[in-house]
Structure 1
Amino acid sequence: MDNPMKTKAHLENALAEAQKRIAELERHAARCGRATEDSFEDSDNASVYMTLMHEAFNASPIGLAIFDTDMRYVTINRTLADLNGKPAQDHIGRRVRDIIPDLAGEIESVMRRVLHTGQPVLDIFISGSVASQPGITRYWNQHCFPLKDNRGRVIGVSIVVEEITARRRAEEALKESEKKYRTLFDSIDEGFVLADVVFDENGRPVDAYFAETNDAAANMLGQDVTGRYFRDVFSEGRVYLLDVAGQVALTGRNVRMEHFLEPDKKWYSFFLFKIGGPDSRRIGTIFQDITERRRAEEERARLLQDTDEQRGRLQAIIDSLPVGLCITDNTGKIIFMNDIAKGIWIGRAHYAKNIEEFSSDKAWWSDTGERIAAEDMPVARSLRGEICKTLAVDFERSDGTRGTQLVSSAPIRTSDGSITGSIALVQDITEQRRAQRALRESEEKYRSLFESSIDGILLTMPDGRITAANPAACRILQMTEEEIVQAGRDGVVDTSDPRLRLALEERRRKGKARAELIFRRKDGTTFPADISSSVISDQEDHIRSSVVFRDITERKEAEKRIRKLNEELEQRVKERTGDLIETVDRLDKQREVLQTIIDSIPVMLMFYDPAGKIYLVNRELEKVLGWSKEEMQTMDLMAAVYPDSGYRREVREYMIEAEPGWKDLTMTTRSGTRVCSSWSYVRLSDGSQIGIGIDVSERRRIDQDMKRLATAIEQSGEGIVIHNPDWVIVYANPAFEALTGYGREELMGKGISDLAEYFHGNDYGDISEYISRHGKQWSGVQKRKRKSGEVIDISLTVAPVHDQEGRIMNYVSAVRDVTAELRMQNQLAQNQKLEAIGTLAGGIAHDLKNILTPIVINTEVALMDIEEDHPVRELLEEIGQAARMGSDVVSQIVTFSRRSLQEKKPVAIENVVKESVDFLRSALPSTIDIRLQLSAGNARVLADPTRIKQVMVNLGSNAGHAMRENGGNLFIETAQERLNEEKASVVSPDLKAGRYVKIMVRDTGVGMDEQTKRRIFEPFFTTKKQGEGAGMGLSVVHGIVKDHEGAVSVWSKPGKGSVFTVFLPVWRDSGATGDEPSPLSAPGDA
């Protein structure tokens, strides 16, 4: 029974191929329609068009026809005429209803629609029967196209008809196949499961979803698992099956295995295969309980152990067989195969395989070339009781090669006559068949050569009889082949010629001979001929000869003419000899001039005669090597210049080849130094040679210097860029690529205007003008923007490169990122500025305190001494209030300048932060939500708690002011962080490495621009309105934090809020947390 799944796949492929063919035909029909319109536009080409149309119509595999406006046939091709069941000429001038009345109604209706609208109508489905096959329903797909003249008027209709009967039947067969597949799926005895394998993020199978199972699977599993997951159904004892399913789903390789399931105490056979494309994770599994079979096999193995001696004797017999031996059971399964059989099939056969499985799909009868069906295989026939003797079978091996084998097979029967298996003997006759084919091909090639040769060919016997003559021999001798055979050798060759006897003797001794003999034509005339004769033997070892001859009459006459010309030439040579003697005298004089020229040119020259001996060198070669010309002509110069024998051999081979081009050679001079040179050898027509050499030692040194320079630039830590005079980049090193973020392919050939984003608005015009005016390099600091959008500061040096005439040929730019360096310089300058302001403010505050203290005291005393309604009381109260406010400002200035002496002690920082937050909750409006996150643990700092609270309150108040209009969120977080020297220097240049408590105060307020951010820690600087603050809040924060050996940093952007981060050193006796958290990132840093 055919495999329904295989049948289904076959039908689907057939349907897809049919649909593809239909699409091609539709495109072809559309092209025909367009060609028709174009052809009718040119009335002068109408006759040519009609001729081509008829040829195309009759050759087309699809039905084609053209109708006039009365819907009468104008022309029709043979395909459509045969379909209609009438000759093409019987259609011309008639309507459709006259030819196929059953289908005329629908077809003429469509044609009327096309004639009326001028638009094509495609994909018209028609069904019916034809006269040649009455009663059989067939299906067609029809397209109708309008035919128009050059003014756009419709003058006819063209119809394209494609029969789709095969496609319709394929679709119906597919439906029937699917029905059979479902029936088979539900009725087979083996369990069948379709499952989708589930993988985790690392690509490991973790579960499988059972999409579909058959009844046999449910019976063997004891339950219907459809719609459930593997791990929900089975225990851990079956997890191995999940791993195998994962491998099949990923690799697509089928797995066939037998496995013992411990929970069931049973053996099962499994066949797992992938379903779908590369991205599919669905597999199919066919399994069955083989416990009983395994037990039977174990019992059989036990019994077989008792027959070792018999098996040994049998094996010896089998091993001595000169042919392949194959034994199967009664199902066709191979149970034994000797080495010769395995070698014939090259690994296609193995145990647990059915012999048809590896041979019937790729096996043919040698005699007819027909594919062998599975049931016609020799083994299959023997299993039905037939004895097959020496059947020739062609087969395809697993490596793709084809071979031929002789197969004999017979059934194996028990004593009661029942068939228990088969035995087959196989002999590989591939080489024998190949040799026979080669012999046939050789005979065919010889016959073709024999018949088509322009030379005469005769086949003769040792006694002179001629057995065959080719057409050329008949033409040359002016005889028929029968006449030549009857005449024999004596009739076509002049036997009186003594050269004939010599040629026959030479052929007898050597097996072949060449000679010039006189042949005789039918009319008795003779002619000279070149002959080549060889002794040959046929398959029966019969000796015969072949004679190939050619008429050389014209060549003989040409030789006479050449002899005459030679005599004339000899006379002219004598006449010219005198002239040549005079020419030699002149050449001797010119040789001196040539030697002077050769000795003056700055290249090495060596002249060799045809024997390879040096006969001339120039002075440049003497100067480079150190030997004189006379020494070089007498010594073994090659051995001296190239002392290594292997290297010398390579040089000689190069000289002998004398190919165009140059080769670098290393020569040893008289002093022992090694010279790098480049040589080219030219061979002259007389066999002599000229060697031309150039000393390239200096060039090599320059090349090495250039390579070292290029390596240094490539590995430099600074970015190096080379521009042409128009400031177009012609080179950029890897450091520049890393600095800018642009790849070399993005930079090469780009000008400044092309990289405007990178140059950040900077123009090289001023730099170019400076270099042109001063003639020297330019240096400075500029801003650039990386490809990522990050703006950086760079140190830029641009230097010109001049040519020999002093013109600028290139610009070289050296670029270094100084962003971090400038940032540290700015921070250091800001700290120094604040330090100077603090020192100045401290001195002023001391003097102001001395001035304000008596004012406050005296004002309070005066207020105590006067009545409540005294006229000056209000003035004194204003003076007192002003003096106290001044005292507060002085106190803040003192705090900023760190001149106050407060006691510091170990403080649990999170308690201080909590108290500060409690105060801020009551002080800030309800529109601001305060969120506290404490992660510093039990860390303590050496600090004045009151001043730390002041820091928190000032930062919280500052944040509240930024969110006063729209409200927002205030985040206060604490953590511990260990800063190395690099991280500490980024926060503040004078901050030391170590473990710190980090307090971060983040708001969602209006934020600050860069200019405001740079000045926020300056005393009396404020962005608040007059009367809302004195501008000392953040200055006091900075002073307190610095006094505690810490640092404060700020991040802010307009519209994105601000983040103030305070770092306070952890007290050395404070316990560390188990895991030190990473520093919190400010929003927008990414």
Structure 2
Amino acid sequence: MIPNEAKDEEPISYQALLDKNRDLTEENHSLQEELQRLKARLEEAKGLSHVGEALRESEEKYRVFFENSIDAIILALLDGTIYAANPSACKIFGMTEEEIIKAGRNGLVDAQDPGLELHLEERARTGKFKGEINFRRKDGTIFPGEVSTGIFKDKNGFFKAYAIIRDITKRKTAEDALRKSEERYRTLFTNMTEGFILAEIIYNKDGKPYDYRYLEVNPAFERNTGIKREQILGSTMLEVFPNVNTKQVEKSLELVFTGKSAHFEVFSQLLHKHFDIHVFGLEERKIAIIFMDITERKQMEEKTRQRSEEIETIMEVVPAAILIGHDPQCYNITGNRMANELCEAQTGENISANATPIRRYFHNGHELAANELPMQKAAFKDIDVRDEEIDVLLPDGEWITAIGSASPLHDENGKVRGSVAAFMVITERKKAEARLKETLDNLEELVKQRTAELNKAYNSLKESERGLAEAQKMAHIGSWDWNLLTGKIYWSDEMYRIFGLKPQEFEISFDEILNYIHPGDRDYLIDAYKRALKGGKSGNLIEFRIISANGEEKVIHGLTEVTFNEENKPVRIRGTDQDITERKKAEEALRASEERYRSLYENSLDGILLTKPDGTVLSANPTACNLFGMTEDEVIKAGREGLVVKDERLKAALEERELKGQAKAELKYIRKDGSIFIAEISSGLFTDIDGSIKASIIVRDITERKQAEEALRESEERFRTVIENSRDGINMLDLKTGSYVLMSPAQVEMTGFTAEEINNISAEEVYERVHPQDRDLSISQQKLVAAGIDTPSTVEYRWKVKSGEYHWFSDSRKLVHDAQGNPVALVVVTPFLITNSTTRPRCSGEPCRAGRHQS
């Protein structure tokens, strides 16, 4: 025995003991002559030599696994006291082995984890546990760990525990990211207002696409079409809509086939609805279709067109001059046919008194300024002006008298944006008043009736304009009209809002419009207008980007129509622009979500199966195919029946999943070649968009881990058997802690002390138990150990055993070094034939080496 002095060295591995025993065996070969005199003992030592060799092989496997395991391995007492940790454990926890030992179980496990107590109870009840627990690193961060722990009995009959820990932070992060991506994708897919179709292209015998088959549709499809999902899946488009324009379908599919997307509007005779449709290609033979029910928009457009036609008709046929002021100052005024005739102006020409001050206006002999005219008064004062008579002096010197009414026009905020007026020339009436005085009452009534009609026409016009403006605002659609003869451009209020401007803030020009067009689309837009002006077909659709006044980039969908005169020259361009930015963002978000989900699915390191609860496989990712050695079609065909070994674990896992909605287990799976492998699975149930219950299964091959666990168990078993049955005393001292980490039953029998009792004895007391005459030798041996030098030979000394007697000990000692060559432990082997005597061993002149063997 030696004193337990050293306190700061590294803990020993079992391999060091085997190395020492191997060295002892080599030295024994040089002692053949002496061993002849101990033949009986040698025969017994030979038997142990075979056992020692088996132990060395077992311990080598254990050491390699313990030191090189990717997972953390911790050995501890049942109370949580840790006495060993492998390098991976130090790396995972960010601690040295000493810090891990000092921390103990309570310092490594997250005390807030509610599952810890249940896990310890399960291990105490069954002897083992596997599951997930949260751990704490040195820096205080918490990480999830997959742990496998069990209880074993050491050579002294003490129950101890091992724990194998795997940091599953990345896996948890990946699982959470996958769940969130799938949730975002499903949320978008389920809640998007636009209908979505996933379809498979069908080709004719010439290889040209002409139809497609429905593979999946979202809830918005049912809402927009009234057709149930189960009624349409598996059917082709021509089967569902036999009266569709097949040429349009073929043209769209051919366009998608070339890598481009298609966009068009159709009217379904079957559904009596208008749809705005976008078609774009996905993977080979598949397309995605996003469509929107635009029936209400079409109806609104038609009503707007009809209302506009009605207003224009009223304006042209009403027997009065009707004028409209397009701004609060009435600087821009246009009129109907009678107003243009009265002012001798062309259609669309500005007839404002401010713009053409060539007429003079009087009332009761007082000459009126421009702001005193009925239209201007209505706009400036926000009042209704009724039945004002005005005498007008024309440029040719002729006088006429007109009677008119005017009212202000308001924007959506109630602010005046212009005015409208109706005038009737009453010159002849005034001249006849003297002659028709007796009919004055009837004439006044007639004027009132006419005025009422004009008011009605005005109110109808006002209501129509308000309805049109509201419709444009709701649909983010603005309208515009460009008179190529005058250069004047009219924008609706919504056009101003789309460009980030205040409605009717200023009169727009083409050059100003170009300033808002995205630089990358400016040439494209100019070319589109040029083509239209050269006689391009009516109804040109274009899509371009703008940078609004507030700096926001928007995507605009435009429709233009050119009007040509009888000489086929363009005289007018009008159209609509729709802000489709949000729709574009939604399309991009959907694409990105689908791409992220597909990337996770395709590139997962674990096998992933999507199944029905009955075991029918719907899809398998590449990793799953590799695990089973099958193609995806073969995996789907095999199903649960052909992939999983039916046993109690499978039954329990299915019952748990049905009860809790999810389950984790270790199951046996079958490859294509018939070989069996053990897999760790995690399965959960979810509800797809049509309400069907589906299951996801994540499969990880843990065959190698299982084999390693079994090898470790066998190695431990063989090691314990050899140590516990050795007749030589064997002990191992940890030079860092000064504690005995190993003491064979034979050593206990020799000294009378257990390892725990020796560890509780002070270094001074251990030294004092050395016979006084042998203490100098003991001190010299300790100095050699402290210097990291192996003793050159067997050491003989007397030591007081527990009974109080001095017994002779003849120890063979060997230092164990770490990877850097530093001594970390001392292994001492005492032959069993030496210590059971109070007399000196019989050796011829040199230290006794009898009884040395490999253990």
Pair in the same fold by TM > 0.5: no
Which has the bigger relative contact order, CA under 8 A and spacing at least 6?
A: 2
Q: Radius of gyration: which is bigger?
A: 1
- TM-score, normalising length: structure 2: 0.28
- TM-score, normalising length: structure 1: 0.23
